[in-house]
Homo-oligomer: A and B are copies of this chain.
Amino acid sequence: MYKVVKNAEEALRDIQDDMTIMLGGFGLCGIPENSIGELVRKGTKRLTCISNNAGVDGFGLGLLLETKQIKKMISSYVGENDEFERQMLSGELEVDLIPQGSLAERCRAGGAGIPAFYTPAGFGTEIAEGKEVRIYNGKPHILEEALTADFAIVKAWKGDTAGNLVYKAAARNFNPLMAMAGKITIAEVEELLPAGSLDPNEIHTPGIFVQRIFQGKKFEKRIEQRTVRKRD
């Protein structure tokens, strides 16, 4: 299974206006930087983006907000971002906020062929409005439906030509779940290896979930909150 494409341009060649795209990452950690850059270059419009966060001004999905390519954000936490705030308050940008655990589970469900599940998260809040409530174990739960996307774009540390992926540390986050939920899943990796280089025991995303893979040209890996301690 040879899934390698040359670069972001080839990987994203058929992403079109009005599509729904999942993008892995938590904050700026583990985001598909090269693919976001390519979306900016392509100028694809009116995208619905499913991503836990919306980047910051000038980086990550913030870049796509600046160029107004995003019609709707589906996220759990947004707004480290002035441009986001401006567009949201002006009504230019639709925003659908989802509890983080429900967002993760809804992506996994989408990839796993589970169309809906019950979760306690959000019961009694505005998130539950219009949703079915059912009591399990004496506790109210709401029904949440699966999420899928035309394209899922994920970022991994290492990948092989068969599409198997390994993530590093906390850069894993939503990436494996979104990889499952894309009709087409694109992986950009820091290091692309021949099939057989990765230990089959250590693979986080089996290649079956990945349709295209490429080695990213450059990873800036910006840090959002640099917190350090002094050496003694």
Partner-B contacts on A (CB < 8 A): 105, 109, 112-120, 134, 136-137, 141, 145, 166-169, 200-202
Residue of B nearest to A109 (CB): B117
Nearest CB of B to A159, in Å: 14
- What are 14 A-B pairs at a CB distance below 8 A? A109-B117, A113-B119, A113-B120, A115-B118, A115-B137, A115-B141, A116-B117, A116-B136, A117-B118, A166-B201, A167-B201, A169-B200, A201-B202, A202-B202
Nearest CB of B to A107, in Å: 14
Residue of B nearest to A148 (CB): B137
Stoichiometry, as copies per complex, reads 2
Taking CB atoms, residues of chain B closer than 8 Å to A112 are 105
Residue of B nearest to A141 (CB): B115
> Bound complex: CA of A166 vs CA of B200, how far in Å?
12
Taking CB atoms, residues of chain B closer than 8 Å to A167 are 201
A201-B115 in contact (CB<8A): no
> Bound complex: CA of A201 vs CA of B202, how far in Å?
8
Task: Determine which of B117, B134, B166 lies in contact with A114 in the assembled complex, contact meaning CB atoms within 8 Å.
Answer: B117
A105-B114 in contact (CB<8A): yes
> Bound complex: CA of A57 vs CA of B115, how far in Å?
40
Nearest CB of B to A108, in Å: 10
